[in-house]
Structures are given as structure tokens and as C-alpha cells.
Structure 1
Amino acid sequence: ICDTAHDSVDYYGKRLKHTSDLKTNACVAPVQPTPTFIRLALKKVHPEITARYYGCGLVVPECLEGCRILDLGSGSGRDCYMLSQLVGEKGHVTGIDMTDVQLELARTHVDYHMKEFGYKKPNVNFVQGYIEALTDAGLEKDSFDIVISNCVVNLSPDKRRVLAEAYKVLKAGGELYFSDIYCNGRITEEIKNHQVLWGECLAGALWWKDLLQLAEEVGFSPPRLVTANVVTVNNKELQDTLGDFKFVSATYRLFKVPKGNTRNSKVIYNGGITGAEDSFHFDCQYTFKANDVVEVVGDVANILTHSRFAEEFTFQPLGGPTGPCGVKPMVSVDPFELALQLGVQGPGAVTGGCCSTQSAGCCK
């Protein structure tokens, strides 16, 4: 595994002491509304854990109660401890990281958090290992309902292996829900070898179209874009090195569901997800209001039918392979276009994702 990428161990474990030490906004969350229940969960996280957190925003998918969650690149453990409250005592959260300093910090506060949450036994554990080798680190195949990642996939030199390993450890119907940095083209070798730009989550950024291809090769459903925000570089030297390359932080959701189901469907959201009782923002193309009938493309119908969301919807098949006129076929949304659109509408237009927040809910 490439030395430049794993030199980020030194960058995150030693050179960065606080979030304020970062040189771009790629891994810093701008101020956006955070659901009350997530805010309350974050308040219970030990302040030392929060101070050493370098992720880009909150990565909190919906429907979490009772779920088994894996956090790739868990760092100080902030997200793990927040999620451990949302999955409940019957759920479980595992964090995997390759950084000794961060793992030591995360493990130090396990007992503190379990006492704070009122749990009889820990529902959080931390594993040392690489995100390209999850099973080698002792994580079992088909064992997680959700895999999350917060601005760390770009730190890997072999992103296909990361996706493949995530697919391997997910249960059938499971989801990879992750925020990361994407580029408007393929990064040059010169930029890839820039250590600071690696640590700032830019040098390893995928061209967003390559993500679509890699996901298909691994076996995931077509990626669904949740939200996107423009990344700014407030450092002239770094900007000169980057040249014309532009970046966005974006959140995608990928599912491990059966292939071949392309029938459109009518769905009714039942309104039962914690934090999204009235409206469930699935992605940038679909927001489901409780009790409203919505026609969805086959890929989305397939995801909703075979994932943890199945019990949250009532389904009404249309009968045709392509659905009625008025339901557009699935198209890949350009995250740069979405970021511009959301920038015009304002930061409150869509909640969720990298450099933002998303609501949570239930695994039954």
C-alpha cells in the first residue's frame, strides 16, 4: 500500500493537534442545522474525543436502531460514540483505523461513554487495520447492516479494494453510506505525491465518474448522491499546485441488493423513522413525505424493497418494466452541478452528508 497515503498516519496522528490546524475546508463542517437528537448525542461525547476529530461533517444515515455499523477510519471515535447512542444497547458500532494515536484515544474513553449512556455492557469496539483489508483485520463477511466512512476513502491508494471489502462485510440489503472528496477530473501523479494535499483529503480524490464505475464493478447498486458542497482551498501555494482541478465534498449511498429489478414502483413512506417522521430525504432526487404516494425508478424501488427501509414503506408495483410516462429513468447526478444548485438555494436547502448532517432512524 502506497507510502504517501499511509504517511497520513503521521499527518493525522502527530502534525494535526486540532481541527484548526487544517489548511482547507475539505474536512471541516460548515455551520448547518443539526437535528436535535443528534446534537444531544454529540453533547455526551467526551470533549477530548471531539477536539481530535478531523472528519468532514456528520455521516449519519437513517433507520439505525438495532443496527450493526462499521465506521471506516474511525479516528478519535467521535462518530462511533455518537452512533452507539442511536443504534441503542441492542445495536453495535465497530470503528477501524490504522492510526495508533487515535485508536488509543478512542479506546481510553469506552467505559466513560457506556456509563454516560447507561449501558450495562459496551456496544462499541475499535479495531486496528486498513480499510483495504477489513477481513484481514478480523471483521466477518456479511456481518454489518451499514458501513459508514467520513472523508477517508480518498486516503486509500486502492479505492476499488476499499469498496470491495465494504461490500464483502455488508449483509444482504446492507448500505455503504459515505462522505468524501471528489474531483472534476483524474488527479495527476505530481498532486498524488504531495503529502499535505493527501492529508487534506485532496490529492487522493476520485474523479466522481470513476466512483460510478468502481461501484458497478464491485457489485453495488448505482450510487445515489445525497448532497454535495464546494471545497475551497484557502492557501495560495496549495491552490497553485492544484491548478484547474476543482473539488466537492459529497455523500453517496450504495446498497448491496439483488440485480435485475428495473420495475418502477409507487411507494408510500409510512413516517416511522426517528428524526424523519414527517419527511425522509433519501437522496438529492427523492424526498418522501409521510403518507404521500411517490413514483420511483426501478433502482430506487429495488433498494427500498431489499434494504432496512422495506418496513418503512408501502409498495404499489406499477406492472411495467419501465413504468409510466413522467417517471424519468435513473441518471447519475453531477455532484458539481448539485453543489452549485445548493449554493444558490442556501445551506439549508438540503441537510445531510459530507460537511453537513443527516438524520437517523431504525434497524429492525
Structure 2
Amino acid sequence: MNNQAPTLERRIEEVQHYYGDTLTDKQDLATNVCTADEPPSDAIKAILTQIHDDVQMRFYGCGAPFPPLLEGATVLDLGCGGGRDCFVLSSLVGERGKVIGVDATAEQIAFAQSYVEHHRKVFGHTESNVRFLQGNIEALDQLDLPPESIDVIVSNCVINLSMTKADVLAGMAKLLKPGGEIYFADIFSDRRLAPELKDDPLIVGECIGDALYFEDFVRLAQAAGFLDVRVTAKSLKTIANPAIEAKLGGAKLYSITLRLFKMDLEDRCEDYGQVAIYKGNLPEAPDRFVLDNGHAFDTGRAVPVCRNTADMISKSRYRILFDVIGDGRRHYGLFQCGTPQIESVPTLADVGVCGPAGCGC
């Protein structure tokens, strides 16, 4: 362990070394943290059968960050690694869409690039819709990407590696189109971890050392303008390494999938008398659409919603799925959240009151 606190530059070098030299495939991982627990949908499973085996073995993600309605979208994958998720997204966006993978590690970019043509042929595309860029997720403004040019930003167990997560969030906010979505899976802790864990390259590389206390991430997201953070999936991680687990001091780690929207939302869930009705016109979800852990919409059923939720489903690409009744002009006070409909991170929302992060935490 190096007792000198790492600088951002040194941290980036350490992560590049870990993912470029130390790890050759997922079997080299020292823990089970950088492994996926969230089961993909049947549609994603079908696409995964078409991904090259070598690319599968270079996958170190902790979730399945593939939101619906991506046909024709421009999607940015932060920390794309060996490119597995980018190639899945290539199929989901179709030939009219674009996928851009960004990673700091030259070896990962070169590896991913070597499989572009293979997957173009597998998916039957005339031209590849995937490109890879080497760059740091803390400096997205230095990439050749125009502001407000991205429909959806995804990431899979990468943002935790950054020492300056506020810079990552600020960069994403600049690149997203108005109404755009961030949908990502990452590792979070149930408390603030000991600072010395940040000094251990192994523990950092295993997605632990710089993992944020979940509530601290919410605060960072709100400061970046994402006032309502929604949780869509959560699972407790096993470490499978007693020596590393002992250093956590009893802290628990979770893989959590989140969605954030670039729009003018409030920092609390407020009642404006609005109702949402899901049309059932998403092919993979004909009976029920799940927005987050506290908002599931049965087809044809009128559901009272706070204004944040109404805006999320009416001012994003999801607007084709819903009818929203009510103009949102008259205020009726704080919106009382119901019981979460899927497992979530424990917050005030679990006891029926909207917490600072909104209905979906």
C-alpha cells in the first residue's frame, strides 16, 4: 500500500494499469464486486449470445444498464472497457443509431476496436454504428463530442473508480440533450468508507476503494442539476475475499442501477394533481412498465404521480408510452409516495414520505 494520497493523474494511471495489465479477463478479479448480479431481460440475453466469447470474458460490469426505446438513439458508454455493452447497444440502437464507447485504457480500446467488424457482420449492419474513443470520464469536454448531442449515457461499474465524480456528472450534464437520460449501474456503500482504502490500487481497481456512500452520491448528483435520482435495481454484493472484506469495517456494498434525467425537476416530489396512464405499447412490457422502484404502471390504469414523475415520462423519449392528465399548474402540497413496488435502498421513501432524493430512492 502506498501511504501517499493519490492524485487524479496517478489514480488514472493505476486504474489503467489494473485494467490494462493486471486483468486479462474476469477470472483475474480478486473479489466478486465487479460481477453482474442483475439478470438481463430475455431480449438482452438473446443479444448476449451473439457477443464474441473473448469480449464476454473481458466484461467487468455489475449490472445490466440497457434502458428501453433505444432504436435510433445516440448512446454514450462511459468506461466501456472491452466493449461488451457497446456491442449490445449496437444491436439495440439499430443502424440509424450510434454508440460511442469511452475508456481511459489504451489496451481496452484497442481490444474493443478489434471486434467492431465482427459484430457489424453478426448484427447485419451495412456500416458499423460503434466507435471507441480513449479519454478520461472526468474530462468529457476534451473529447470530440458536441454539447447536447447524446440521447442516453450508460455506464457499468466504472464511475466508482473516479476520484472526481462531480466532474463526471458535470460532463454528462453538458453532453446530454434536454430530456436525455443517464442510466447506469455502479457500486455504492451503506456508509462512508475509511479514507485509507483509496490508497490501495487493488481495492480501488476492484471497485471498492472509491465507492461512494449512496446518500453522498445523491448530494453530488443534485449539485450537478440531477435533482431526482431514481433507483431501478439493487443487490447486495459479496466480496469473496476475507482479507479485503475485513478492511471494510462492516460496511456493505451494493450494486445499484440508477436513472437520472436532464430536465428541470424539483428536489422533492410535489403534488400537482396529475395522473399517468401507460398505453402498453412497449413490446417487451405489454402489461406493466417499471420506471423505478416506486413507480410501476399497469397498462390502462390511471396512476396519480408527482410532477417530477409526470415530467420524466412526458418530456423524455418515454412520452410515446404514456398519457398524462393534468396541466401541472395547481399545487396541492407534498406528494405522498406509496410503498415501493420493487426492492430499494432504505430511505424515507420506504415509510411513505418522499426523501430529498425523490420518490424513487
TM-score (structure 2 length as normaliser):
0.87
CA distance in 2, matches of 1:324, 1:337: 24
Partners of 2:137 and 2:168 within 8 A in 1: yes
RCO higher in structure (CA 8 A, sep ≥6): 1
Where 2:185 maps in the other structure, the secondary structure is strand
* 1:315 to 2:316 alignment: no
Of residues 222, 243, 246 in structure 2, which corresponds to 1:240? 246
Q: Quote the residue 2:263 is aligned against.
A: 257
What is the aligned partner in structure 1 of residue 170 from structure 2?
A: 164
Find the partner of 1:177 among 177, 183, 192: 183
Which of 10, 21, 25 matches 1:18?
25
SS at match of 1:337: coil
Query: Is 2:227 the partner of 1:224?
Result: no
Code of the aligned partner of 1:150: N
Structure 1 runs (4+) deviating above 6 angstroms are none
Q: Is the 8 A contact 2:101 2:132 kept in 1?
A: yes
Letter in 2 for 1:235: N
Consecutive unaligned residues of structure 1, counting only runs of 5 or more, are 342-364
Question: Secondary structure of the residue that 2:144 maps to in structure 1?
Answer: coil
Number of aligned residue pairs: 337
Which residue of the other structure, out of 279, 289, 300, is the alignment partner of 1:280?
Answer: 289
1:24 Cα deviation after fit: 2.2
**1:146 and 2:152 equivalent?**
yes
Equivalent positions of 1:124-135 (< 5 A) are: 124-135=130-141
Quote the offset at 1:70 in angstroms: 0.2
- Tell me the secondary structure at the aligned position of residue 346 of structure 2: helix
* TM-aligned CA deviation for residue 218 of structure 1: 0.8
| Range that drifts further, 183-192 or 82-91 | 183-192
CA distance in 2, matches of 1:129, 1:113: 23
**Bigger mean CA deviation after superposition, 143-152 or 11-20:** 11-20
> 2-side partners of 1:179 and 1:245: how far apart?
19
Amino acid at match of 2:308: D
Distance 1:324 1:282 in 2: 23
Q: Describe the shift of the 1:102–1:294 C-alpha distance in structure 2 as closer, same or farther (beyond 3 A).
A: same
Kindly indicate whether the alpha-carbon contact (under 8 Å) linking 1:181 and 1:202 is maintained by their aligned counterparts in 2.
Answer: yes
**1:118 aligned partner:** 124
Deviates more, 1:229-238 or 1:80-89: 229-238
Does structure 1 retain, via aligned residues, the 8 Å contact 2:71–2:93? yes
| 1:334 positional shift | 9.9
If the length of structure 1 is used for normalisation, what is the TM-score? Answer: 0.86
For residue 15 of structure 2, what is the aligned residue in structure 1?
A: 8
Q: Matched residue of 1:104: which SS?
A: helix
Report the equivalent of 2:104. 98
- Partner secondary structure for residue 179 of structure 2: strand
Residue in structure 1 matched with residue 93 of structure 2 by the alignment: 87
Q: How big is the shift at 1:79? A: 0.4
Give the C-alpha shift of residue 27 in structure 1. Answer: 1.3
Of all paired residues, the percent bearing the same amino acid is 36
Residue of structure 2 in register with 1:361 after alignment: none
Residue pair 1:264, 1:301 contacting (<8 A) in 2 also: no
Displacement of 1:327 after TM fit?
4.1
CA RMSD of aligned residues (A): 2.4
The one-letter code matched in structure 2 to 1:270 is K
